[in-house]
A and B are shown apart, each in its own frame.
Chain A
Amino acid sequence: MGLKLERQAAPVWVQPLLPVLAIVLTFGLTSVFVLLAGANPLRAYYHFLLEPLSSRVSLLEMLVKATPLLLTGIAVAFAFRGGFWNIGAEGQFLAGATAATAIGMSMHGMPALVAVPLMALGGFVAGMAWAFVPAVMKVELHADEVVTTLLLNTVALLCVSALLNGPWRDPISQWPQSPEIASTAILPKLVPRSRLHLGFLFAVFVVLVVGFILTQTTLGLRMRAVGLEPKAARFAGVRVERTLLVTALVSGGVAGFAGMVEVAGIHYRLIEAISGGHGYTGILVATLGNLSPLGVVLSALFVGLIDIGSQTVSRALGVPVYLGDVIQATLLLVTLAVLLLQNYRLSWRRGGAL
Chain B
Amino acid sequence: MTDANEAMLVCMRGIWKQFGPVIANQGVDFDLKPGEIHALLGENGAGKSTLMRILYGLYRADAGSIAVGGAEVAIHSPRDAIALGIGMVTQHFALVPPLSVAENIILGQERGLRLDLRTAEGKVASAAKRFGLSVDPRARVRDLSVGQRQRVEILKVLHRNARVLILDEPTAVLTPQEIEQLFETLLRLKTEGVSVVFISHKLHEVMRITDRVTVMRAGKVVGTTATHQMSPSELARMMVGQTIVGVSKPPRTGQGSVVLKLEDVWANDDKGVPILKGVSLEVNTGEILGIAGVAGNGQTALSEVLEGTRPSTRGRMWVCGKDITNASPDQVMQAGVGRVPEDRHESVIDEMTVAENMAIEHIDEFSRFGLLRHAQIRQHAERLIAEYQIKARPNDRVRTLSGGNMQKVILARVLERNPRAIVVSQPTRGLDISATEYVHGKLLEQRQKGAAVLLISEDLDEILKLADRVAVIYNGKIISVMPAEEANPERLGLLMAGVH
Q: Min CB distance, A28 to chain B, in Å?
A: 27
| Interface SS majority for chain B | mixed
Interface pair A218/B60, CB less than 8 Å apart: no
Interface pair B72/A237, CB less than 8 Å apart: no
Does B472 lie at the interface of the complex (its beta carbon under 8 Å from any beta carbon of A)?
Answer: no
Q: How many residues of B contact A (CB 8 A)?
A: 39
Q: Mark interface residues in A318-354 (1 if CB within 8 Å of B CB, else 0).
A: 0000000000000000000000000000010111111
Q: Mark interface residues in A12-28 (1 if CB within 8 Å of B CB, else 0).
A: 00000000000000000
Q: Which residues of B contact A229 (CB under 8 A)?
A: 345, 349-351
Contact of A354 among B61, B345, B349, B362 (CB under 8 A): B61
Inter-chain CA distance A6–B309, complex, in Å, is: 37
Does A8 lie at the interface of the complex (its beta carbon under 8 Å from any beta carbon of B)?
Answer: yes
Residues of B279-334 contacting chain A, CB below 8 A: 307, 309, 328-330, 333
Contact of A217 among B59, B61, B351, B370 (CB under 8 A): B370
15 additional A-B pairs beyond A216-B371, A237-B328, beta carbons within 8 Å, are A217-B367, A219-B370, A225-B360, A228-B350, A232-B345, A235-B309, A236-B349, A238-B330, A238-B360, A239-B328, A352-B72, A353-B65, A354-B61, A354-B63, A354-B74
Does A222 lie at the interface of the complex (its beta carbon under 8 Å from any beta carbon of B)?
Answer: yes
Interface pair B341/A6, CB less than 8 Å apart: no
Residues of chain A touching chain B, judged by Cβ–Cβ distance below 8 Å, are 4, 6-8, 216-222, 224-225, 228-229, 231-239, 347, 349-354
A-B contact pairs, 26 of them (CB 8 A): A6-B76, A218-B367, A218-B371, A220-B372, A221-B356, A221-B363, A222-B363, A224-B352, A225-B360, A228-B349, A229-B345, A229-B351, A231-B346, A232-B348, A232-B349, A235-B307, A235-B347, A238-B360, A239-B328, A347-B60, A350-B74, A351-B74, A352-B74, A354-B60, A354-B61, A354-B74
Inter-chain CA distance A220–B63, complex, in Å, is: 42
Q: Which residues of B contact A347 (CB under 8 A)?
A: 60
Q: Which residues of A contact B63 (CB under 8 A)?
A: 354
Q: Min CB distance, A240 to chain B, in Å?
A: 10
Q: Min CB distance, B62 to chain A, in Å?
A: 9
Inter-chain CA distance A225–B346, complex, in Å, is: 12
Q: Mark interface residues in B257-290 (1 if CB within 8 Å of A CB, else 0).
A: 0000000000000000000000000000000000
Interface pair B361/A236, CB less than 8 Å apart: yes
Contact of A349 among B76, B350, B351 (CB under 8 A): B76
Q: Which residues of A contact B65 (CB under 8 A)?
A: 353-354
Interface pair A8/B64, CB less than 8 Å apart: no
Q: Which residues of B contact A8 (CB under 8 A)?
A: 59
Interface pair A354/B309, CB less than 8 Å apart: no
Residue among A232, A238, A239 with max Cβ neighbours from chain B (10 Å): A232
Q: Min CB distance, A213 to chain B, in Å?
A: 9
Interface pair B347/A232, CB less than 8 Å apart: yes
Q: Which residues of A contact B61 (CB under 8 A)?
A: 354
| Interface SS majority for chain A | mixed
Residues of B422-480 contacting chain A, CB below 8 A: none
Q: Min CB distance, A126 to chain B, in Å?
A: 26
Q: Min CB distance, A237 to chain B, in Å?
A: 3
The 4 closest A-B pairs by CB, nearest first: A237-B330, A236-B360, A237-B329, A218-B367
Inter-chain CA distance A224–B353, complex, in Å, is: 12
Interface pair A218/B370, CB less than 8 Å apart: yes
Q: Which residues of B contact A233 (CB under 8 A)?
A: 349, 360
Chain A residue at minimum C-beta to C-beta distance from B61: A354
Q: Min CB distance, A50 to chain B, in Å?
A: 38
Q: A235-B309, A354-B66 are in contact. Are A225 and B349 (CB under 8 A)?
A: yes
Does B164 lie at the interface of the complex (its beta carbon under 8 Å from any beta carbon of A)?
Answer: no
Inter-chain CA distance A352–B71, complex, in Å, is: 10
Inter-chain CA distance A349–B307, complex, in Å, is: 49
Q: Which residues of B contact A239 (CB under 8 A)?
A: 328, 330
Q: Min CB distance, B227 to chain A, in Å?
A: 29
Q: Which residues of B contact A224 (CB under 8 A)?
A: 352
Interface pair B372/A216, CB less than 8 Å apart: yes
Q: Which residues of A contact B363 (CB under 8 A)?
A: 218, 221-222
Inter-chain CA distance A239–B63, complex, in Å, is: 48
Does B484 lie at the interface of the complex (its beta carbon under 8 Å from any beta carbon of A)?
Answer: no
Inter-chain CA distance A221–B58, complex, in Å, is: 33
Q: Which residues of B contact A217 (CB under 8 A)?
A: 367, 370-372
Does B143 lie at the interface of the complex (its beta carbon under 8 Å from any beta carbon of A)?
Answer: no
Q: A349-B76, A353-B72 are in contact. Are A221 and B64 (CB under 8 A)?
A: no
Chain B residue at minimum C-beta to C-beta distance from A6: B60
Q: Min CB distance, B173 to chain A, in Å?
A: 19
Interface pair A237/B307, CB less than 8 Å apart: no
Inter-chain CA distance A273–B279, complex, in Å, is: 63
Q: Min CB distance, A2 to chain B, in Å?
A: 10
Q: Min CB distance, A293 to chain B, in Å?
A: 16
Inter-chain CA distance A71–B310, complex, in Å, is: 39
Q: Which residues of B contact A354 (CB under 8 A)?
A: 60-61, 63-66, 74-75
Inter-chain CA distance A234–B331, complex, in Å, is: 12
